[in-house]
Amino acid sequence: MIKINILVMPLLQSLLLIGSLEAGCPVYLTVSLTGKTLQDTFLEINWGPNCYGPPQWVGIYGQDPTISNFQPDLRIDGLANSTGKMITPIKLGKLHFPGGWNRQDDGDQPVTQYPTGKCLPHYVASYNGTELLTVDCLKIQPNWMAHIKDVSQMPLKNIFLPGTHASGAVVGSSSKTNSILVRDYLVAQQFDVWSQLIFGIRYLDFSIGYKNMNTENDADNFWIANENMLITPLLGILRDVRQFVKRSGEMVVLDFSSFPIGFYKHPEVYSSLFRLLRQELGDEAYRRNVSKNEHCADRNFRKILLQNKHHLVILFPSQELPYPENESNLICPPWQRFSSSFMNISQTLDYMRLLFSKKTNSPVRDDGWIFTAVSSMEQTLNAHQLLTAKQRAAVLNPKVNQWLKGPWGNNANVVAMDYFSNTNLVDLAIQVNAHKAFIMANQDYINLEILNLA
């Protein structure tokens, strides 16, 4: 009897905790897609899904409202609907990551571990009169994977990995061009790759272009591309990824998914890119056992880390290399990809139902898979509107985010978005993974207890 209590109590507590998180009316902050610059971008508040009793009012604060009675910077009354989103006049401001997590911070100094995330100075609290109902903040998640108990024992294919599409397509000082075409239609993220990783993104998608720049260093010839344009050099991004995994110990999946410029019928260019990856990332990349045709998505994070502390899983089409046999242990064959690119919203919903409900007719196989939630320029042209990449993401992302909050989220593997910051994709993935890891770790025990009780 005593033994049962000891074992059952944490289980019950955990189920109650999960229940209480889902109850009530969650209110959270995201970064809108409104600003010309990131610094000038407005924050947005989100509430729901399914707030049956919305709070009377919501306050936005620059400091933690639970430690003192600060006046809110902004007060919003009367959230009538059960689910919603509202852009505020509060700007994101200059990004500064605490705890040694800025890119320019000294990488040799130890960083502060933030197992449950760390708030940036933007908080949102909801109230009924003076009664505090919820508090949340805009937060970074540089260590979430390592700190979810038991997630490291789950195969990669069963982990919900929050991702970005066209991850390197960011405007920056080193960008090739700042034309309106590039800025409005080809740039796909407002946070650079370093910041994406700090916010908790763990899957990066790269489209690579090759152009001979006539420099001494072959690395200078490789660029991030999007829709047939070169956007920004690849090398700095690879170094950011490497620096991040060394500092954080997190696992990141890098997907070299397309090669639109300069690769066609040039296996030697693929080879040259592969050499660059081996040189820059080789000592951090997971090496699979080629002789038993190992699927990287079947491995769990703990095994990947145990193998000499390797943190990167590199997806790359090895068949394009001239000698795939002697090069393919460093790279994993690509995972299955599904994209909503050419679909409207209702078709996207149907497609997600097919993919995420894991019914027998689902095309998703028992391996790693990626759902890319994007809508292409062509798609909006069909509806006779020319929407910018931000406008398209502003419509699509919140919907996909909401649909994943139901049972479908449990079946997600990689979900990748353009401009992910107008969603709470990372928090959602963390919640789903914690829940799944808990169920997995207790499965044997639960089954056993049911047998014993019967």
Ligand X SMILES: *[C@@H]1O[C@H](CO)[C@@H](O)[C@H](O)[C@H]1NC(C)=O
Which residue of 13, 128, 212, 362 would you call a contact of ligand X, by CB under 6 A? 128
Q: Rounded CA gap, 46 and 36, in Å? A: 22
Shortest Å, Cβ 86 to ligand X: 7
Using CB under 6 A as the binding criterion, the count of chain residues that bind ligand X stands at 14
Q: Which stretch binds ligand X (CB under 6 A): 139-147, 199-207, 345-353, 425-433?
A: 345-353
346 binds ligand X (CB under 6 A): yes
353 binds ligand X (CB under 6 A): no
User: 281-319 as b/e, with b when 16 or more CB fall inside 10 Å?
Assistant: beebbbbbeeeeeebbbebbbeebbeeeebbbbbbbebe
The residue (of 323 and 445) whose beta carbon lies closer to ligand X is: 323
Angle between helix 235-248 and helix 267-281 axes, rounded to 10 deg: 30
357 binds ligand X (CB under 6 A): no
Residue 427 carries which DSSP code? H
81 binds ligand X (CB under 6 A): yes
Q: For the chain, how many helices (H) and strands (E)?
A: 12, 16
Residue 107 carries which DSSP code? T
Shortest Å, Cβ 47 to ligand X: 9
Which residue of 71, 173, 326, 361 would you call a contact of ligand X, by CB under 6 A? 326
Which residue of 13, 347, 443, 447 would you call a contact of ligand X, by CB under 6 A? 347
Q: Which stretch binds ligand X (CB under 6 A): 135-143, 343-351, 362-370, 384-392?
A: 343-351
Alpha helical stretches, state H, 231-297: 235-248, 267-281
Using CB under 6 A, which residues numbered 264 to 303 contact ligand X? 289, 291-292
214 binds ligand X (CB under 6 A): no
Shortest Å, Cβ 338 to ligand X: 18
Residue 232 CA, distance from chain mean position = 21
385 binds ligand X (CB under 6 A): no
307 binds ligand X (CB under 6 A): no
The residue (of 339 and 344) whose beta carbon lies closer to ligand X is: 344
- CB neighbours (10 Å) of residue 181? 12
Residue with tokens 């979810």: 148
362 binds ligand X (CB under 6 A): no
Shortest Å, Cβ 20 to ligand X: 13
Short-list 437, 1, 443, 424, CA closest to 201: 424
The residue (of 47 and 371) whose beta carbon lies closer to ligand X is: 47
Q: Is the dihedral of CA 32, 33, 38, 40 positive or negative?
A: negative
384 binds ligand X (CB under 6 A): no
Query: What are the residues facing 46 on neighbouring strands?
Result: 28, 85
The continuous run of DSSP H or E covering 435 comes out as helix 425-453
The residue (of 44 and 192) whose beta carbon lies closer to ligand X is: 44
Shortest Å, Cβ 278 to ligand X: 9
The residue (of 53 and 406) whose beta carbon lies closer to ligand X is: 53
Shortest Å, Cβ 396 to ligand X: 13
Shortest Å, Cβ 360 to ligand X: 25
The residue (of 78 and 110) whose beta carbon lies closer to ligand X is: 78
Any idea what the Cα angle at residue 120 is, between residues 118 and 124, rounded to 5°? 100
Shortest Å, Cβ 76 to ligand X: 9
Any idea what the Cα angle at residue 37 is, between residues 31 and 38, rounded to 5°? 35
Shortest Å, Cβ 417 to ligand X: 20
Residue with tokens 């046999």: 325
Q: In what order do the strands lie in the sheet with 57-61?
A: 74-77, 57-61, 118-128, 131-140
- Residues 39-78 vs ligand X: string with x where CB under 6 A? --------------x-------------------------
The SS3 call for residue 121 is strand
Beta carbons within 8 Å of 67's beta carbon, 6+ residues apart: none
Q: β-pairing, 131-140 with 118-128? A: antiparallel
Q: Rounded CA gap, 207 and 234, in Å? A: 10
Using CB under 6 A, which residues numbered 144 to 203 contact ligand X? none
The residue (of 51 and 171) whose beta carbon lies closer to ligand X is: 51
96 binds ligand X (CB under 6 A): no
- Residues 217-256 vs ligand X: string with x where CB under 6 A? ----------------------------------------
Binding site for ligand X (CB under 6 A): 53, 80-81, 84, 128, 289, 291-292, 323, 326, 344-347
